[in-house]
């Protein structure tokens, strides 16, 4: 892939890049909407991601190009204001560039830039965090800055919160930054604190991307974020991580019906993360699978960020041989389902699941068999 990125950059700009960086997409293994509530989460970096090639530009302009969508869009940005329409993708690299001084880091004054991806966009695998981290590492290589990995992760999240305008937690950037092959990334979002957790041998990930996305997904995400904050305030705590199941029941009368459901999902999901981690340590993938499916049922009924398409996939996978469990992955409101399977689950079985989906919804989901991968890195400089 590196050679293809260098070739495309050279064809576009007439010379080779000075730096190539890559950041992986991620699977949200378990911990749905727990991160911005101060909770814990487990994720996996995967072997698909976003590649960024860059070179200093003498004219002092920001030349941004992408192959993340059909054709290549060029943005010449003397004024790095927020973009819309077909240029919306540029908000991710622009946001990182704008945010560098907030962390005491120098900006490359002008650069030529190309982003290329082998990560399905819109599949809930966080192409946004991948482009943020790959962009950050490319810019830092151009200015020869060497901040900590944690700072790079925080920079990506800051850009998405404050420039792109999505109130995400640290999950996506944290997993993309701290990923390690054959491991999951555990994040205690209060620190944040990052650890890697060994993944038992024989665990496989399959992604079923519905391509069905709610038109108001960003607004719905922000609404859930606000509902959780309102619930925490009503319960007299800063974040829902500070609420035990017993305290939630004691304070139920202070919550609206909606607020109670949102809080119940988050409080119980944080407990599921702890139970999954314990089951992983014991090599009990069957119990891990049961907890993954329970997570989806909570998203379906309590947090209400699932869809009919995602529910059908989970229902089908739950009764398919060699599947430990399945759940939506990512923010929800469409996107993809992750299935945890053993090594005997095959492409033929995946096709059968897709066939059930197609009979109901008239289109086939994309199917991706993922492996774990390493975190964001500079590939060449």
* 313/354 Cα distance (integer angstroms): 8
- 310's CB contacts (< 8 A; 6+ apart) are 210, 296, 328, 332, 334, 335, 336, 337
Burial 337-352 (b: 16+ CB within 10 A, else e): bbbbbeeebeeebbee
* CA distance linking residue 370 with residue 182, whole number of Å: 12
- Whether 295 and 30 have beta carbons less than 8 Å apart is answered as yes
Report DSSP state, residue 319.
T
Other residues' Cβ atoms within 10 Å of the Cβ of residue 220: 17
Cα-only R_g, the chain? 21
- Contact partners, residue 161, CB within 8 Å, separation at least 6: 167, 168
Question: Which residue's structure tokens are 């400089």?
Answer: 381
- Active-site position among 35, 172, 188, 242: 172
Q: How far apart are alpha carbons 25 and 122 in whole angstroms?
A: 11
Tokens read off for 147 = 């901040």
Task: List the one residue out of 325, 357, 356, 83 whose CA is nearest residue 211.
Answer: 357
Q: Residue 69, SS3?
A: coil
172 assigned to active site = yes
* C-alpha–C-alpha distance, residues 192 and 238, integer Å: 16
CB 119 within 8 A of CB 127: yes
Which tokens belong to 367? 């199917």
Supply angle C-alpha 258, 261, 265, rounded to 5: 145
Question: Could you tell me which of 353, 310, 332 has the C-alpha nearest to residue 122?
Answer: 332
**Cβ atoms within 10 A of the Cβ of 127, count?**
26
C-alpha 197/C-alpha 106 separation (Å) is 34
Of 242, 240, 247, 246, the C-alpha closest to 265 is 240
- List, by residue number, the catalytic residues: 172
């Amino acid at each position: 892939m590196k050679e293809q990125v260098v070739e495309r950059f050279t064809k576009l700009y007439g010379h080779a890049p000075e730096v190539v960086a890559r950041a992986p997409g991620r699977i949200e293994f378990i911990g749905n909407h727990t991160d911005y509530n101060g909770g814990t989460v487990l994720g996996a970096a995967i072997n698909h991601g976003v590649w960024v090639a860059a070179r200093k530009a003498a004219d002092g302009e920001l030349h941004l190009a992408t192959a993340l969508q059909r054709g290549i869009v060029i943005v010449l940005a003397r004024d790095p204001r927020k973009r819309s329409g077909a240029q919306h993708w540029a908000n991710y690299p622009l946001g990182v560039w704008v945010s560098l001084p907030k962390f005491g880091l120098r900006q490359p004054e002008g650069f030529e830039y190309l982003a290329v991806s082998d990560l399905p966009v819109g599949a809930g695998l966080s192409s946004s965090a991948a482009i943020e981290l790959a962009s950050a590492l490319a810019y830092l290589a151009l200015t020869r800055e060497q901040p900590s990995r944690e700072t790079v992760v925080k920079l990506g999240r800051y850009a998405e919160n404050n420039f792109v305008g999505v109130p995400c937690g640290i999950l996506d950037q944290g997993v993309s930054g701290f990923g390690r092959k054959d491991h999951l990334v555990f994040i205690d979002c209060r620190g944040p604190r990052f650890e890697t957790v060994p993944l038992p041998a024989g665990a496989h990930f399959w992604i079923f991307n519905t391509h069905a996305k709610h038109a108001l997904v960003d607004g719905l995400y922000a609404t859930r974020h606000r509902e959780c904050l309102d619930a925490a305030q009503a319960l007299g705590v800063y974040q829902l991580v500070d609420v035990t199941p017993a305290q939630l029941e004691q304070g139920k009368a202070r919550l609206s019906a909606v607020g109670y459901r949102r809080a119940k999902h988050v409080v119980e999901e944080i407990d599921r993360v702890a139970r999954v981690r314990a089951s992983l340590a014991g090599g009990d993938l069957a119990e891990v699978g049961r907890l993954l499916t329970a997570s989806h049922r909570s998203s379906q009924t309590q947090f209400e960020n699932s869809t009919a398409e995602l529910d059908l996939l989970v229902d089908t996978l739950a009764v398919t041989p060699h599947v430990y469990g399945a759940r939506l992955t990512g923010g929800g409101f469409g996107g993809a389902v992750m299935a945890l399977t053993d090594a005997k689950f095959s492409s033929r079985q995946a096709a059968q699941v897709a066939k059930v989906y197609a009979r109901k919804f008239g289109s086939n989901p994309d199917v991706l068999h993922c492996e774990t991968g390493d975190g964001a890195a500079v590939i060449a400089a």
